[in-house]
């Protein structure tokens, strides 16, 4: 009997092995015969489904898989911990065989600073995955990964992200992280947040029938509530978001978890709570903010920054408040305008805007910190846009999120009602018989599945062009002229072949990073300096250490001429060393 069971087991193992082998063979044959869709890897080593959202643990697992599949291109680690102890994952993409990633011109990318704005995580993660998978298949991507470094933090608010995904929420909660705060000043902490009364995993709205109310049902879509016209009798009153008075103070949902704004907690033009809500106690009071600040201060090679938020279809630049306008000088604005307008072309429906002028005032924002304190060209993209509802041009007014009618019609025609909870009766312990219904948490701010991958790819493309245009220095050419007494005049042309300068005006003004160095070896240097006038040959001498010329900045798409008088003959070696622009060397024999 035992032998018979063993034989059956062996047969089953062989059978399942044949099935698995057959399935793999069929998949391989299908791959051979299928037509690769352009813009994506044909046979990715790391399979990721880009029509869904991942929590912080899954993000870490995907980053780890990428680093294991591409050990020469990807590195994975944590830069710190959130308040609740979750890792803040960093994925670094660069070809380590082509130089130290921390010495190459770099781009920093992050997303999901606000807990509910999760899709920046997917856009950031997609960028790292795409760069690794397409390396060696697309020449432009290969060049980019060889020359540049990408520091990618998909979520800098893992606590808020996970609570949004796993707990009951509305599209607008939780905005903060989960460091506790007493919002209503009653001595208790986070004791009266939203409540999922009907247990459907969403925080929607409550309404109550009231002959004196000022709301009516939309005759075209009974799911929509409209304000009654001035001469129209109302039918309902809208109450708070779904919840009860948990602490018995007569108020509903007035002390949510956290309740600060992580995007008001940064060390540039910060303002206290009485100036703007959400600033918290002092700049850098949050562990997530401090982790990012510590990281970027250790990486002077970062020349450009990109952050992702999630609604409005905007390519935002600073300043966040009008009093900070003088910080953005003409030279830098030319770079911003070039890249911002390129973004409008890559991202249909998006608009290149200024935060304080076209949105609202922001003090202590991450965007302004990266430019003001670190001197890097910085954009923040608001990802979901109402243009994508029906691909119609939006009103020139600030209709960033689309009208309520558009939102519900899109849900009806393309989501088939999945995005909205129909109004249903509920016996509320305080209000009596009410109705609960409205928009689900995964709709209006987050892109639906069939649009998510396009959003990831288009926004990534904008970011990659920004990264491409981070400075790239080279020793373009060297000329010599023999002088009496065995001396040689050596002139070197140092070129920056990209749009972003090696130092922005903000960087120069505040001496944020060291100057670029252009040095020569091969003889005793008697004098040296920068050629200020190429026609007359006027040179500004550097009195100390003339063999190592300090260059304030190499402008985008321009060159700097450096000249030395050297006691000696060829060969000479000229080196350029720029923290944000990389290194290069050339020998003249």
What are 76-126's pLDDT values in tens digits?
999 999 999 999 999 999 999 999 999 999 999 999 999 999 999 999 999
One domain for residues 515 and 544 = yes
Pair 359, 461 in one domain: yes
Residues 480 and 504 in one domain: yes
Q: What is the CATH number of the domain that holds 519?
A: 2.60.40.10
Query: Residue 54 has what pLDDT?
Result: 98
366 and 484 in a common domain: no
Element (H, E) at 111: strand 106-111
Distance in angstroms (rounded) separating the CA atoms of residues 275 and 7: 79
Count of the separate structural domains present in the chain: 3
- The CATH number that applies at residue 375 is 3.40.630.10
DSSP category for residue 285: -
Check if the beta carbon of residue 223 is closer than 8 Å to that of residue 193.
no
Per-residue pLDDT at 34 exceeds 90? no
Considering the domain boundaries, does residue 288 fall inside one? yes
In angstroms, rounded to a whole number, what is the distance separating the alpha carbons of residues 493 and 545? 19
Rounded distance between C-alpha atoms, residue 574 and residue 415, angstroms: 62
* 160 and 107 together in one domain: yes
Give the DSSP H/E element, type plus range, for residue 380.
Answer: strand 377-384
Least confident residue range of 131-145, 384-398, 438-452, 469-483: 384-398
Question: What are the distances in angstroms from CA 558 to CA 441, 513, 525, 527?
Answer: 49, 20, 26, 24
Parent domain of 433: 183-256+418-441
Residues 248 and 267 in one domain: no
Residues paired with residue 216 on neighbouring β-strands, in sequence order:
226
- The reply to whether 292 and 241 lie within a common domain is no
Domain annotation covers residue 413: no
Give burial (CB, 10 Å; 0-12/13-18/19+) of 5: exposed
Q: What is the pLDDT of residues 218-277, one digit of tens each?
A: 999 999 999 999 999 999 999 989 999 999 888 899 888 888 999 999 999 999 999 999
CA trace torsion 549, 554, 558, 561 (10° rounding): -10
In a domain, 41, yes or no: no
The residue with greater pLDDT, 467 or 395, is: 467
Same domain, 165 and 201: no
What are the structure tokens assigned to 538, written together? Answer: 């006027």
Residue 22 lies in a domain: no
Flag whether 284 is in a domain: yes
The reply to whether 312 and 344 lie within a common domain is yes
Asked whether residue 4 is assigned to any structural domain, the reply reads no
Computed over every residue of the chain, the mean pLDDT equals: 93
Examine the domain organization and report whether 460 and 508 are in the same domain: no
Please tell me whether residues 506 and 537 are part of one structural domain.
yes
Q: Does residue 407 form part of some domain? A: no
Whether residue 493 has pLDDT greater than 60: yes
Please check whether residue 102 lies inside any domain of the structure. yes
Give me the pLDDT at residue 534, please. Answer: 85
* Statement to judge: residues 434 and 494 lie in one domain: no
The residues near 461 (Cβ < 8 Å, ≥ 6 apart) are 346
* Cα→Cα distances 482→86, 479, 561, Å: 64, 10, 18
C-alpha dihedral over 171, 172, 176, 179, to 10 degrees? Answer: -80
């Amino acid at each position: 009997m035992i032998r018979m069971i063993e034989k059956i087991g062996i047969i089953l193992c062989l059978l399942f092995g044949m099935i698995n082998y057959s399935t793999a063979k069929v998949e391989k044959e299908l791959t051979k015969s299928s037509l690769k869709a352009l813009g994506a890897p044909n046979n990715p080593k790391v399979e990721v489904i880009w029509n869904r959202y991942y929590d912080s643990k899954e993000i870490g697992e995907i980053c780890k898989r990428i680093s294991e599949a591409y050990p020469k291109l990807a590195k994975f680690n944590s830069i710190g911990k959130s308040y609740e102890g979750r890792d803040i994952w960093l994925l670094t993409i660069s070809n380590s065989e082509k130089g130290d990633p921390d010495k190459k011109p770099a781009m920093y990318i992050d997303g999901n600073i606000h807990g509910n704005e999760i899709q920046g995580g997917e856009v950031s993660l997609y960028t790292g995955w795409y760069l690794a998978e397409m390396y060696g298949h697309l020449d432009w991507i290969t060049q980019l990964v060889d020359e540049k470094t990408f520091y990618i933090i998909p979520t800098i608010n893992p606590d808020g992200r996970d609570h949004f995904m796993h707990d009951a929420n509305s599209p607008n909660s939780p905005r903060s992280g989960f460091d506790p705060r007493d919002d209503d000043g009653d001595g208790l902490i986070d004791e009266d947040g939203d409540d999922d009364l009907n247990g459907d995993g969403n925080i929607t709205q409550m309404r109550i029938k009231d002959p004196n109310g000022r709301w009516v049902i939309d005759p075209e879509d009974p799911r929509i509530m409209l304000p009654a016209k001035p001469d129209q009798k109302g039918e309902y009153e809208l109450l708070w978001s779904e919840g009860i008075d948990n602490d018995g103070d007569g108020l509903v949902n007035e002390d949510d978890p956290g309740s600060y704004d992580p995007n008001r907690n940064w060390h540039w033009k910060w303002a206290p709570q009485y100036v703007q809500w959400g600033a918290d106690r002092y700049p850098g009071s949050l562990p997530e903010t401090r982790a990012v600040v510590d990281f970027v201060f250790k990486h002077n090679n970062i020349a450009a920054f990109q952050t992702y938020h999630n609604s409005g279809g905007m390519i935002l630049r600073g300043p966040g408040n009008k009093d900070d306008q003088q910080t953005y000088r003409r030279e830098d604005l030319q770079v911003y305008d070039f890249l911002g307008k390129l973004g409008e072309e890559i991202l249909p429906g998006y608009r290149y805007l200024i935060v304080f002028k076209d949105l609202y005032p922001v003090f202590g924002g991450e965007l302004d910190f990266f430019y003001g304190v670190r001197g890097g060209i910085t954009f923040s993209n608001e990802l979901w846009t109402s243009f994508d509802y029906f691909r119609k041009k939006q009103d020139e007014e600030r209709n960033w999120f689309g009208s309520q009618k558009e939102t519900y019609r899109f849900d009806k025609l393309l989501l088939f009602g999945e995005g909205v909870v129909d109004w249903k009766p509920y016996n509320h312990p305080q209000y009596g018989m009410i109705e609960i219904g409205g928009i689900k948490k995964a709709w209006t701010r987050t892109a639906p599945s069939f649009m998510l991958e396009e959003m990831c790819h288009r926004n990534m493309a904008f970011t990659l062009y920004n990264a491409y245009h981070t400075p790239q220095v080279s020793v373009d050419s060297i000329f010599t002229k023999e002088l009496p007494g065995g001396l040689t005049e050596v002139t070197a042309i140092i070129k920056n072949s990209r749009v972003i300068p090696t130092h922005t005006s903000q960087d120069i003004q505040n001496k944020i990073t060291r100057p670029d160095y252009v040095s020569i070896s091969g003889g005793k240097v008697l004098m040296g300096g920068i050629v200020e006038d190429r026609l007359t040959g006027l040179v500004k001498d550097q009195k100390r250490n003339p063999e190592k010329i300090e260059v304030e900045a190499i402008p985008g798409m321009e060159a700097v001429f450096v000249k030395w008088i050297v006691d000696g003959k060829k060969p000479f070696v000229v080196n350029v060393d720029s923290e944000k622009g990389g290194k290069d060397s050339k020998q003249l024999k």
